Amino acid sequence: MSQTGLVFHEHFLLHDPGPMIAGSPPRPYPYLEPEDHVEHPRRVGRVKELLDQSGLTERLRALEFEPASLDDVALFHTREYIQQVLTVSARDGYGDAGQGARLSRGSFEIALLAVGGACAAVDAVLDGEVANSYALIRPPGHHAMPTQGMGFCLFGNVAIAVKRAIAHGRIERAMVLDWDVHHGNGTQEAFYDDDRVLMVSLHQDGLYPENSGLVGDTGGESGAGRTVNVPLPAGTGDAGYMAALERVVWPIARQFQPELIVVSNGLDASRADPLGRMMITAGGYRRMTRATMAVAAELCGGKLAVIHEGGYSQSYAPLCGLAIIEELAGVDSGLADDLGAQARADRMRPAYEVGLDAEQALAEVVAAQSAFWQLEPA
Ligand SMILES: [Zn+2]
């Protein structure tokens, strides 16, 4: 079966984090009108709309899925935390499941559906039902911690899906590749002491969470070398990301030999994101996807599940999403290039050149990871 599976449900568009409120603790706005939350339903709804309008949806296999069971969610989260999300979600008004993980009535059920979607995307690939898969879900998951939500994330979609696949004996070794612009701290926490999961995070240095995703954080005792943090300087674009993949990520993946690759796909490293300061183009995301597919083909029979995380530009993130899903499905409509002014973006330096500060950052990663893996010195 060579099709690409798609996970999507209209209910993902019903999770409402409320208006964006500044300050910690949040303050009411005496001077400014509250604005839409950046983790707005439209950021995912517009990706789906573009898939539909471009004709891609009908070429994908719609995967069936259900809300995750509480036992599955408890593979990563404490029962107390799960109950807390349920309690807040059952009340009227807006609440917070931790640090900046706002929710409202019904968010609990939608978050369970998102976890179930991630699990279905992984299962369909492991079952051989599809060649690869994309889970277009929200709320996102990679910041969620065992005992609290963080950064718009309620439950760790990717962490749970991978833990579940291992718990069910489907696989013994998986690689998570998180290229969201923010550090995948929750997923890192899930596998920090686990030698069965290689957790790679490419993220903007010093962005979010604070003091998280440092080069020297390489895994706990039993997971030594299984955490690979690649903090890249603001302004890094297609060339810097490809260099990180080619010089660091692929050589480590080849030595680790995963049976499955799961991408935590943040589109907030795009050149237009309001929360990130990176410069990946839609074409860059396409090339990163192509390279990941090639490595998956080489190492694990092509088994690749891509799970939606952040991405807050309502105009540009959908084009990046389209480019990625087209690549998974072996289609190139040219639409993402056209609408994204790809030719103009390609003329920007970060698209074709690795900056000196990115070179320095990669050298630091190579130095830190050389304790565990054979890497070419920078
Ligand atoms: Zn993010």
Cα(9) to ligand 1 centroid in Å equals: 21
HSE, side-chain direction, 13 A CA sphere, residue 180: 33
What is the distance in A from the centroid of ligand 1 to the CA of 91? 27
0.95 surpassed by pTM: yes
Task: Give the span between the Cα atoms of 324 and 47, in whole angstroms.
Answer: 11
Greatest Cα-to-Cα distance within the chain, rounded to the nearest angstrom = 57
- Smallest CA-to-CA distance from 17 within 37, 44, 34 is with 37
How far apart CA 170 and CA 259 sit, in angstroms, is 10
CB neighbours of residue 357 within 10 Å: 15
| Mean pLDDT of the region 320-325 | 98
Q: d(Cα 95, Cα 114) in Å, to the nearest integer?
A: 19
How much of the chain, in percent, has pLDDT values that exceed 90? 92
Whether the pLDDT of residue 338 is over 70: the answer is: yes
**Mean pLDDT, residues 299-318 taken together:** 98
Q: What is the pLDDT of residues 122-163, one digit of tens each?
A: 999 999 999 999 999 999 999 999 999 999 999 999 999 999
* Sole residue written with tokens 């471009």: 54
Query: Is residue 1 scored above 60 in pLDDT?
Result: no
| β-strand partners of 197 | 174
Mean pLDDT across the chain: 96
Query: Burial, 33: exposed, middle or buried (Cβ in 10 Å; 0-12, 13-18, 19+)?
Result: exposed
With cut-offs at 50, 70 and 90, classify the pLDDT of residue 24.
low
**Which of the residues are catalytic?**
143
**Ligand 1 centroid to residue 10 C-alpha, Å:** 22
Contact criterion met (CB below 8 Å) for 296 and 327: no
Whether the pLDDT of residue 320 is over 70: the answer is: yes
Residue 206's pLDDT is 97
Q: b/e map of 201-238 (b: 16 or more CB within 10 Å)?
A: bbbbbebbbeebbebebbbeeebebbbbbbbbbebbbb
180 CA to centre of ligand 1 in angstroms:
5
Residue 247 C-alpha to ligand 1 middle, in angstroms?
Answer: 23
> What pLDDT digit, counting tens, does each position of 83-122 carry?
999 999 999 999 999 999 999 999 999 999 999 999 999 9
Calpha distance 208→183 (Å, rounded): 6
- pLDDT tens digits, one per residue of 236-281: 999 999 999 999 999 999 999 999 999 999 999 999 999 999 999 9
